[in-house]
Each structure stands twice: as structure tokens, then as C-alpha cells.
Amino acid sequence: MFSTFISCGTRKIFVEKRQLKTPLLQTEVKAIQKQENTLPPAGLLTSREKILNYIETYAAIAQEEMKSAGIPASITLAQGILESGMGYGRLAVEGNNHFGIKCHTTWEGPRLYHDDDEKGECFRVYTSPRQSFHDHSQFLKDRPRYAHLFSIPIDRYEAWAKGLKKAGYATDPQYAEKLISLIERFELDRFDNNTRFSKATNLIEHEVVKGDTLYSMSKKYNVSIEAILQFNNLIEPTIYLGQILQIPTP
């Protein structure tokens, strides 16, 4: 076990790195990271562009968790956007922690210390964003104070947002309103309905290379641009190098 200090301006983060006790996690790290999409550099991106990138990168994982855990993908995405600083916050960057989940007494993995409600609080560190999303689902499922949420239908995101605030997920008095605003501004509730994905019988994975456009792909695979956008949950007709797109074929 070893520890390091990371200095940023006048604030310091203390990262305590420990060998994970579960051997399976160690063997899966490379496989998980290979599958994991990553956000593009922040650069000169606007807040809206950062949010759109976050949605495009993590929507599929949020939907996977919705299917296995019963938490609306819209809620998971909105919480992730808010808690992770659109994916560019320190906890997300240094610890893959997208939901601000603290260590508590049960966490035995790596940890990161930084100021939050109190000075030097302990936060969980994950091997990948995917692990963070999964732990977020387990965190809600395993705690009795969130049990009432799972009786709320998946399509009632407003009730979920208010229920999370009432159960004490965050101290911000406007937490529920912020989640609802994100969901409605970016139409995140569309990810709570997976009906169109079950209709596709054949898929092609296409990695975007230099020269690719939505138009060229639509011609190559004989599928409409709208179908590509809808199937990949893209809000705007923008693609980037290295992006993996699912192409529905006739």
C-alpha cells in the first residue's frame, strides 16, 4: 500500500491506493477499461457540449443499470452529470467517482480524500466509470432509506428525483429541481424507454474514422441518418474520431 499527495492550486487531494481485496476486479480492470468510452478533453467545450458528450458516453451504461437494478436511466444520468461536474470534476477524473459516493464503513477499496460538506472527507475510488455506475445502483438498492424509491414506476422521474432528495442523498435543497431540470432540458427520459432497441435484428459496430460523416455512413449501410441518431441516442448530428456507433441494418 502506498499514498500520494496531489496538489491543485491551494487545495490538496490525498489519494490512498490499496490493493483491491477481490482478485476478480484485478483481472477485469483491463477488460473493463478497454470497453469503456472516455470523454474528450474539456478544452474550450461549453457546458452544453460537455453535458452532451457525457450523455453520449454513458447513456448505454445507465440503461444497462436500469435493466438490472430498476433505476431510471434518466435519473442515473442526471445524477452523474450533476455529481461529477459533467465528467470533469476532480472526483470523476482522479477516482472515476461519478456520484460523489463516500467511503462509509463498508468500503474496502481505494479511497480519495478531499473537502466536501466537511474537510478531508473520504470518497470511493473505482477502476472505471462503469464500476462507479454499478456501485451507484448497489448503493441505492442496499440501503433501507432508498427502498421506497423502487416502488415508483421508472417513467416517473420527478418522483424519483424528489425521493432521492427526501432520503438525504444530497444536502443541496435544490437537488431534486436540478435533476428534473437536467432531465427535461436534455430529454433524458427518452433513455427510460428501450422499445426501439428491441426491434433491431442486426447490428454493425462502426468506428468513426477520418472522413466519415453521418451521410456517408447512411449511404454505406443503406440506413437513414435519423435511424443512426435515434439508435445511438444522439441529440445532435455530431460525431467524432474513434466513436463507436451501432448501425441497425435491414
DSSP string, 151-196: GS-TT-HHHHHHHHHHTTS-S-TTHHHHHHHHHHHTTGGGGG--HH
CATH code linked to domain 2-193: 1.10.530.10
CA distance 3 to 125: 13
Per-residue confidence band for 224, with pLDDT thresholds at 50, 70 and 90? confident
pTM for this model (two decimals): 0.66
Spatial contact of 120 and 114, defined as CB atoms under 8 Å apart: yes
Spatial contact of 15 and 9, defined as CB atoms under 8 Å apart: no
C-alpha cell at 168: 438525504
C-alpha cell at 154: 421508472
Per-residue confidence band for 202, with pLDDT thresholds at 50, 70 and 90? low
Among the ranges given (4-18, 131-145, 220-234), the one the predictor scored with the smallest mean pLDDT: 4-18
Cα dihedral 120, 110, 143, 140 sign: positive
Buried (b) or exposed (e) across 169-180, using 16+ Cβ within 10 A? bbeeeebbebbb
Question: Pick the residue with more confidence: 150 or 197?
Answer: 150
Residue 31 pLDDT: 39
3-state secondary structure of 112: strand
Spatial contact of 136 and 76, defined as CB atoms under 8 Å apart: yes
Residue 37 pLDDT: 57
Residue 140 Ramachandran class (φ > 0 left, ψ -120 to 50 alpha, else beta): alpha
Question: Pick the residue with more confidence: 128 or 196?
Answer: 128
Residue 2 Ramachandran class (φ > 0 left, ψ -120 to 50 alpha, else beta): beta
What average pLDDT does the segment 166-181 reach?
95
Which string of DSSP letters, residue by residue, matches 90-109? HHHHHH--SS--B-TTT--S
Per-residue confidence band for 85, with pLDDT thresholds at 50, 70 and 90? very high
CA distance 114 to 106: 19
What average pLDDT does the segment 152-160 reach?
93
Q: What is the DSSP letter of 56?
A: H
CA distance 175 to 179: 6
Q: Is the pLDDT of residue 26 over 60?
A: no
**Positions of CATH 1.10.530.10 in the chain:** 2-193
Per-residue confidence band for 236, with pLDDT thresholds at 50, 70 and 90? confident
Spatial contact of 228 and 247, defined as CB atoms under 8 Å apart: yes
Question: If 0-12 CB within 10 Å is exposed, 13-18 middle and 19+ buried, where does residue 184 land?
Answer: middle
CATH class for the region spanning 196-248: alpha beta
**Positions of CATH 3.10.350.10 in the chain:** 196-248
- Of 180, 231, 179, 171, nearest to 201 (Cα)? 231
Q: Is the pLDDT of residue 4 over 60?
A: no
